[in-house]
Structure 1
Amino acid sequence: MSEIKENQIDQDEAVMLDALESFKDVEVGDIVQGEVLVLEDKQAIVSILGTGVEGVIPVKELTAFPTEDISSLVKIGEILDLVVITSIGKDKENGSYLLSKRRLEAKKIWEDVEAAFEADEEVEGTVTDVVKGGLVVDLGVRGFVPASMIDTHFVSDFSVYKGQTLRFKVMEIEPSENRLILSRKVLLAKEQAAKKEEVLNSLVAGDIIKGKVARLTDFGVFVDLGGVDGLVHISELSHSHVSKASDVLEVGEEVEAKILSIDPEKERVSLSIKETLAGPWDNVAETIGTDDVVTGAIKRLTSFGAFVELQPGVEGLIHISQISHNHVVTPHEVLQEGQEVTAKVLEVNQPDRRIALSIKALEEKPQQEEVFQEDEVVDIPEEVTGFSLGDILGDALKSTED
């Protein structure tokens, strides 16, 4: 009976020895699996599967983010993939090791980010913080976006990006130094270039399109056509004179414009708002007619007459012969620019954009009188004086006879 017991003990020892021999050695840097046995306040105790030893995972090695409840990160019985950081025990049976879940995940993420960098692919991350000089981005590992690489235009307030999940291009990567530099600007510029090409290819000279005023300048207005800015020169804003673009438009205002020309190579589009508006001469015949009496300001004086603005963009001419009943050598003698005058419409020629005006037609013609100067006789019409020529001459002859 004792012999049987001794055999059984020998067999149990052999099984235990075999089991111990079957356990794998644990080395720093090994990737292992651990079953969660106990959750403590700041750490989790796990059994390292296939080794017969236990390990410890500090809470900071479970996640890179602050947490107050370790049970929100792992559960008892859960099996985790871990990396061995260091040994904190000496003997194989009772030794213990410091393990990390976070570092193993980060290692895999670094590998993925490096692969994306090599393949010139995009990565995605969430902006977790705004710091001096740029943005901090979480991709599972920490990335940084310098201020100059955030957008294609100047941004004064970076806080608008905090919490946003965005796409980035990897510019620099060095896992050993935890260095990861990202750019959003490169992707945006690429997208804008593709969109600009698409829009330019869709535009046709002569078409009427809609857009929003993007910028006002001294020489005109830039209109956003959906990826391409078209220029409306200040002379193409209105049929009437415009001194400043801000006098007629404001940023963000939606406008209609006609495409005058397109230069795909230089990415230039010339537009005209004026061409979409009814011309000042289009309905002139409906508002100004022959024999009408009109008022306007003198815009220009020439050697042959004066141009008077009757409506915005519509001018009429007072020929020098129609300024006064008296002889006028030059219009500058009796008129000046900016002066308001009243005139009669002699003719309206809408097709040729001409309106003939007369000031003297509204003035009474001076009366002519007979004046004797020595032997000279000035003829004065009978209807003006009320006396006949015979009556006047008869009195004169009678006085000479006497």
Structure 2
Amino acid sequence: MNEIISDIESSMKKVRSGEVIKGKVISVTDSEAIINLGYMSDGILPRSEVSEDSEINPRDVLKENDEIYVYVLNMNDGDGNILLSKKAADKIKVWDELEDSLKNNSTFEVTVKEVVKGGVITYAKGIRAFIPASQLSVSYVKDLNEFIGRVLTVKVIELDRTKEKIVLSRREVESAELEVKKRGLWSEIKPGEKRTGVVSRLTKFGAFVDLGGVDGLIHLSELSWKRVKNPSEVVSIGDKVEVYVLDVDKENNRISLALKDVSEDPWNNVQDKYKVGSVVDGTVSKFLNFGAFVEIEPGLEGLVHLSEISEERILKPSDVLNIGNKVRVKILDIDPKAKRMSLSIKDSAEKPKEDFEKYVDTQESGVSLGELFGDKFKDLKFD
């Protein structure tokens, strides 16, 4: 008999307080669950130890024959029963998973619950965790409340098990994702392509567009066929735009873009619309030391050389012109390949014909040659 008892005891699990062990659910009621631990006596799992949520009924999460992990609170609850806790076991297991996550640099999803000073609160696998505002995104976050209820993919960046402190980051996950996108974009993008992006920044010389982790620049001159003084005249930050890739400089990480449709370049059909010698209306758009540019239509400008501005000698265009002046110009030359047009303001007006008749005496004097020369004819002898 002693040998039989010894064999039975040796086949039993070693159960100690403070351990996490695996058991099987024997029965479940509204108040508790009985767990077979493979020990001489079964364990009692009270409702209060099933979950952190005291409102949860054991029947809602457990059923007979379920295998679960439990934490041994006490080997004897006073009635000879082993007192167990599932929520304590779950917590220990989660902490182990979080430590592995930190070690392996792995990611998981959380839902933002509330805003606190300096950041937001979420729950990492059921454990309260903090995401600093600086770790919410690679972009500047203006209003933390916009994140409430959002599901974020995060990683653990700081963990203190003894203090039950967890700090998470979405920013580092985003940075890694953007790096992957950048490598993909740089390997694919080519001049001549049409891409969709979002205006990310405006400067005095143009607009930057996020193409998916990489910014390209639309120079001021490439925003529109008409002359643009400030990019805000055409686009705003956050605008979704379709752009043309003009140039890709991988060595210097630069991408040149155009917002204007290259197929709509007015220089493409300039010779069909305008002829050398014709007179057209335009607007003075820019001054140079040697002349003034006149815009004939959006994107189509010609140069009026200083000598072609006025019949009078002038030292600079502003002596007789102002930016924005409406003027008539004569087209002297068109070079569509070089996108150049020579114009003249002084030759645009029809010059009055010189009246030479004013120098001719059309009145009859009534005097004959004989009267002019008188008796001199008498002295002439004709043979």
Alignment TM-score, normalising by the size of structure 1:
0.72
Which whole-Å CA distance do the structure 2 matches of 1:142 and 1:188 have between them?
22
Shift of 1:154: 2.5
Could you tell me whether the CA contact under 8 Å between 1:34 and 1:48 is conserved in 2? yes
Give CA deviations for 1:298-347 in whole Å, capped at 9, x if unaligned: 456789876543333322537757845xxx23387994324433355566
1:311 aligns with 2:283: no
Which whole-Å CA distance do the structure 1 matches of 2:313 and 2:224 have between them?
36
Give CA deviations for 1:338-385 in whole Å, capped at 9, x if unaligned: 443335556656566334444465242354xxxxxxxxxxxxx33x46
Which whole-Å CA distance do the structure 1 matches of 2:34 and 2:185 have between them?
61
Could you tell me whether the CA contact under 8 Å between 2:293 and 2:301 is conserved in 1? no
Q: 2:101 aligns with which of 112, 116, 119?
A: 116
Q: Give the corresponding residue for 2:70.
A: 82
Q: Give the corresponding residue for 2:113.
A: 129
Q: 1:185 aligns with which of 154, 168, 171?
A: 171
Could you tell me whether the CA contact under 8 Å between 2:287 and 2:318 is conserved in 1? no
Give CA deviations for 1:64-98 in whole Å, capped at 9, x if unaligned: 234343311223565644221125545xxx51232
Q: Give the corresponding residue for 2:240.
A: 253
Distance 1:158 1:88, change over 3 A: farther
1:329 aligns with 2:313: yes
Which whole-Å CA distance do the structure 2 matches of 1:29 and 1:107 have between them?
11
Q: Give the corresponding residue for 2:29.
A: 39
Q: Which moved more, 1:65-74 or 1:14-23?
A: 14-23
> Which ranges in structure 1 are unaligned for 5 or more consecutive residues?
1-10, 368-380
Which whole-Å CA distance do the structure 2 matches of 1:309 and 1:80 have between them?
80
1:103 aligns with 2:88: yes
Opposite residue 342 of structure 1, the aligned amino acid is R
Could you tell me whether the CA contact under 8 Å between 1:214 and 1:223 is conserved in 2? yes
Q: Give the corresponding residue for 1:50.
A: 39
Q: Give the corresponding residue for 1:65.
A: 53
Q: Give the corresponding residue for 2:374.
A: none
Q: 1:241 aligns with which of 207, 227, 230?
A: 227
Which whole-Å CA distance do the structure 2 matches of 1:302 and 1:75 have between them?
87
Shift of 1:15: 11
- The aligned runs of 1:354-393 (5 Å cut-off) are 354-357=341-344, 358-359=346-347, 361-365=349-353, 367=355, 381-382=356-357, 384=358, 387-388=361-362
Distance 1:135 1:219, change over 3 A: farther
Opposite residue 279 of structure 2, the aligned amino acid is V
Give CA deviations for 1:249-274 in whole Å, capped at 9, x if unaligned: 3442322323334144x533233446
Which whole-Å CA distance do the structure 1 matches of 2:111 and 2:85 have between them?
25
Shift of 1:189: 0.5
Q: Secondary structure at the match of 2:268?
A: coil
Which whole-Å CA distance do the structure 2 matches of 1:333 and 1:219 have between them?
25
Which whole-Å CA distance do the structure 1 matches of 2:126 and 2:286 have between them?
74
Distance 1:319 1:349, change over 3 A: farther
Opposite residue 244 of structure 2, the aligned amino acid is A
Shift of 1:293: 3.4
1:151 aligns with 2:147: no
Q: 2:274 aligns with which of 263, 271, 288?
A: 288
Which whole-Å CA distance do the structure 1 matches of 2:122 and 2:289 have between them?
74
Q: Which moved more, 1:138-147 or 1:216-225?
A: 138-147
Q: Secondary structure at the match of 1:342?
A: strand
Q: 2:17 aligns with which of 28, 33, 38?
A: 28
Identity %: 25
Q: 1:340 aligns with which of 305, 309, 326?
A: 326
Q: Secondary structure at the match of 1:50?
A: coil
> Which ranges in structure 2 are unaligned for 5 or more consecutive residues?
372-383
Give CA deviations for 1:1-60 in whole Å, capped at 9, x if unaligned: xxxxxxxxxx9xx8998799777785312445364446244x3355654223x5432323
Alignment TM-score, normalising by the size of structure 2:
0.75
Q: Secondary structure at the match of 1:362?
A: coil
Provide the alpha-carbon RMSD of the alignment.
4.1
Larger radius of gyration: 1
Q: Secondary structure at the match of 1:207?
A: coil
Q: Secondary structure at the match of 1:190?
A: helix
Q: Give the corresponding residue for 2:376.
A: none
Distance 1:333 1:158, change over 3 A: closer
Which whole-Å CA distance do the structure 2 matches of 1:82 and 1:333 have between them?
90
Could you tell me whether the CA contact under 8 Å between 1:122 and 1:167 is conserved in 2? no
Q: Give the corresponding residue for 2:377.
A: none
Which whole-Å CA distance do the structure 1 matches of 2:70 and 2:318 have between them?
102
